Amino acid sequence: MLNQNILALGKKRSTIREIFEFGNQRAKLVGRENIFDFSLGNPNVPAPDSVQHAIRDIINTKHPSAIHGYTSAPGNEECRAAIAESLNARFGTDYSAKNLYLTLGAAASISLCFKALTASPADEFIVFAPFFPEYQVFIEHGAGAKCVVISAQVQDFQINFEEFERKLNPHTKGVVINSPNNPTGVVYSAETISRLSALLTTKSEEYGHPIFLISDEPYREIIFDGIEVPFIAPKYKNTLVCYSYSKSLSLPGERIGYVLVPNTVDDFGDVYAAICGAGRVLGYVCAPALFQQVIAHCAADIADISIYEKNRNILLEALTSMGYKCVKPEGAFYLFPKTLEENDRAFCERAKKYDLLLVPGADFGAPGHMRIAYCVQTETVQRALPLFEKLAKEYGL
């Protein structure tokens, strides 16, 4: 009677959801402050003041119809122009409003791209483990294409090029990257990007059709140690950038982001039109109108994300000194250490004894690891350290 795949997706409580419920139960017993919830990627940093100012200003000065009315499907022209300008100022690009399609956040942006690009059920999209598990849902159940997973290169979480090259084939329609990465926090090196770009260029020529690079960049601004993160779109002509203001402006619930389609994309007009068509099919109508106007004011702003680097430093140093093994993350707000036993689910289950809530790496396609989302108060991180230590001692460290 119902679509069984979709029913299963709706029924399956995600691990993160289970952990969340566990945390709520425990909080009733021991107090919320004694629960160390590192399971959620919900940024704790407040939106910058400019966002609240912009909202007040818009509400106080504009007529309600001019605030809350429909916008065109690709979005308010002023907002798209402001985004283009902020990108151009930072990256020396020459985008304009017509390169941007505003969306309901990164999940919507990525869904749109898969839906627009999938022409046949034989089409394949490649993802690199560990990866955000909803990619697979969007590819398989949303677009009806195939999701091909490249295993994790666990020593550095860069790309496993050997396996990647082996799995590229004429059905490859697109490749998804996410740097800085959820769940590892790793940033792709300039070398990785340039090797990726060269390989995709060669293979596109060999197959006689473009392989699109879908660059999921919600963590683009959250980078540490003063490193330079290459802006990917200019490095490979057939890049579609999926962005969200969820992390940079700490607005995850407001659902606002974009797809950037550079002029360099083959058949630019058709690709942009297909994105518009996919927006119609998925019932998106337009991005939330008030927040389109907010972004027109705040496109260049960033929340005070310094806490993330501070938290990373504290956690990484402490865990390493306790004997945990972890690739050093240079961005986002996740740590992805090895679990102290091979079975990551068993390990995360054991961590619950200390009210440490962690997500098993298996959920992201990289078992044997745990994701620690440290977008929490620094004090929470500090108070959790003795618990991580007790846990380590259980494993003889």
Residues from 310 through 369 that contact a copy of itself (CB under 8 A): none
Contacting a copy of itself within 276-295 (CB under 8 A): 276-292
Degrees to nearest 5, angle at CA 51 with 50 and 53: 60
* Binding of a copy of itself by 122 (CB under 8 A): no
Q: Which of 84, 100, 102, 117 binds a copy of itself (CB under 8 A)?
A: 117
> Residue 140: phi, psi to the nearest 5?
-80, -50
Provide CB contacts within 8 A for 168, sequence distance 6+: 126, 199, 203, 211
Provide CB contacts within 8 A for 191, sequence distance 6+: none
Q: Which of 92, 226, 253, 396 binds a copy of itself (CB under 8 A)?
A: 253
* Binding of a copy of itself by 296 (CB under 8 A): no
Name the one range near a copy of itself by CB under 8 A: 116-124, 159-167, 229-237, 379-387. Answer: 116-124
* Binding of a copy of itself by 32 (CB under 8 A): no
User: What minimum distance in Å lies between the beta carbon of 90 and a copy of itself?
Assistant: 23
What burial letters (b/e) apply to 201-238, b meaning 16+ CB within 10 Å? Answer: eebbeeeeebbbbbbbbbbbbbbbeeeebbbbbebbbb
Q: Is 22 helix (H, G, I), strand (E, B) or coil?
A: helix
User: What minimum distance in Å lies between the beta carbon of 268 and a copy of itself?
Assistant: 12
Residue number with CB closer to a copy of itself (239 or 339): 239
Q: Which of 63, 155, 226, 379 binds a copy of itself (CB under 8 A)?
A: 63
8 Å CB contact between 381 and 388: no
User: What minimum distance in Å lies between the beta carbon of 12 and a copy of itself?
Assistant: 8
Residue number with CB closer to a copy of itself (115 or 338): 115
Dmax over CA atoms of the chain, in Å, equals 66
> Residue 146: phi, psi to the nearest 5?
-105, 140
Name the one range near a copy of itself by CB under 8 A: 6-14, 185-193, 226-234, 388-396. Answer: 6-14
Name the one range near a copy of itself by CB under 8 A: 247-255, 318-326, 365-373, 387-395. Answer: 247-255
For strands 124-128 and 172-177, give the pairing. parallel
8 Å CB contact between 372 and 337: yes
User: What minimum distance in Å lies between the beta carbon of 230 and a copy of itself?
Assistant: 27
* Binding of a copy of itself by 226 (CB under 8 A): no
